[in-house]
């Protein structure tokens, strides 16, 4: 049996990671027929069917799934070999594909990415922002940055915690002047609140000493998007709970004030996830190290 050509492996991996020949062709800047032909030649050389394709579907055979894992590893090893040479000759370079949800991109990443590009001008960071679930392995991403309150499930992905952001009870100075400042958690019952949803009518607060209590302000407005919640609070609509990743700037500028400063309302953690082998690529490591430096706590 003749060993597969590395270029054919690359076309095969791209077709699988992007879910079809057309998408892979667009990603690579080549005709769909080129990708399809190279994959067909790979199958002919191996004497096996790797992909089941019809006019409406594209799926791996059982053997194809096993072959894909090894082919992907071979391609990454080749990328690593090339980037090691590039890194030896100079700074990190190449494309790093990253994905994040909208709030994470807005409040955690946006302030730092221009500095990243200026630090590594030969590195091209491509950020995909989406609130849908993104399968970073199947869709060919190097890094996912996810913010979560519950622990992430165990997986084969590498996980690196960047930061934990506590939730503060905040309000606008105008709201506090008009309605007064709550001095104890039980005082929240008499206040108007901007909440994260219609069911978010009880806040679990924890003191610096570890005491836990429930507080129930009066919800008058709810939204499941933190920017909307913050703007409602800035307008004086009511007090609200926001993570420091969202409200830090408004607090520093005095547009919001923190209430009950000895209490927090939970926390949210920001974590980097990477396919195991891609996390070893020098360009990916440069991005991860930068984000750890700028965001990590």
- Give residue limits of the domains in the chain: 6-87, 90-156+270-295, 165-268
- CATH fold of 165-268 reads D-Maltodextrin-Binding Protein; domain 2 (3.40.190)
- Fold matches, 6-87 and 90-156+270-295: no
Orientation of helix 32-46 relative to helix 6-17, angle to 10°: 120
DSSP reduced 3-state for 215: strand
- CATH fold of 6-87 reads Arc Repressor Mutant, subunit A (1.10.10)
DSSP reduced 3-state for 86: helix
Q: How far is CA 70 from CA 4, 49, 73, 75, 83, in A?
A: 12, 16, 5, 9, 20
pLDDT of residue 64: 84
Low-confidence residues of the chain: pLDDT under 70? 1-4, 55, 82-90, 154, 277-280, 297
- The secondary element (H helix, E strand) that includes residue 241 is strand 239-243
pLDDT in tens, 56-95: 778 888 888 888 888 888 888 777 776 666 555 557 888 8
pLDDT of residue 1: 47
pLDDT of residue 88: 55
pLDDT in tens, 20-53: 888 888 888 888 888 888 888 888 888 888 888 7
d(CA 178, CA 186): 19
Question: Which spans in the chain are helix H?
Answer: 6-17, 21-28, 32-46, 62-89, 102-104, 110-119, 173-179, 226-234, 244-252, 282-295
Which residue from 201, 197, 209 is spatially nearest to 264, judged by alpha carbons?
Answer: 209
Architecture of domain 90-156+270-295: 3-Layer(aba) Sandwich (3.40)
């Amino acid at each position: 049996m003749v060993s597969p050509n590395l270029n054919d492996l690359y076309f095969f991996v791209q077709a699988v990671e992007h879910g079809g020949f057309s998408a892979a062709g667009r990603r690579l800047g080549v005709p769909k027929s080129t990708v399809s032909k190279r994959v067909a030649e790979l199958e002919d050389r191996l004497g096996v069917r790797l992909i089941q394709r019809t006019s409406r579907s594209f799926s791996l055979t059982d053997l194809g799934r096993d072959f894909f894992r090894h082919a992907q590893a071979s391609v990454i090893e080749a990328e690593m070999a090339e980037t090691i040479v590039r890194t030896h000759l100079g700074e990190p370079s190449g494309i790093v594909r990253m994905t994040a949800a909208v709030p994470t991109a807005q409040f955690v990443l946006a302030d730092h990415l221009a500095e990243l590009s200026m630090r590594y001008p030969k590195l091209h960071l491509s950020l995909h922002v989406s609130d849908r679930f993104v399968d970073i392995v199947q869709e060919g991403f190097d890094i996912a940055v996810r913010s979560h309150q519950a622990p992430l499930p165990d997986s084969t992905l590498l996980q690196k915690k960047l930061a934990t952001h506590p939730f503060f009870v905040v309000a606008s100075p105008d709201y506090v002047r008009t309605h007064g400042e709550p001095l104890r958690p039980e005082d929240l019952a008499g206040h108007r609140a901007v909440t994260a949803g219609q069911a978010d009518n009880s806040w679990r607060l924890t003191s610096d000493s570890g005491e836990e209590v429930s507080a129930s302000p009066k919800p008058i407005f709810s939204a499941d998007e933190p920017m909307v919640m913050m703007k409602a609070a800035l307008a004086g609509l009511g007090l609200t709970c926001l993570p420091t990743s969202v409200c830090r700037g408004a607090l520093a500028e005095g547009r919001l004030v923190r209430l009950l400063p000895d209490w927090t309302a939970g926390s949210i953690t920001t974590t980097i996830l990477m396919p195991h082998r891609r996390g070893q690529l020098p360009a990916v490591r440069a991005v991860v190290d930068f984000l750890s430096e700028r965001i990590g706590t």
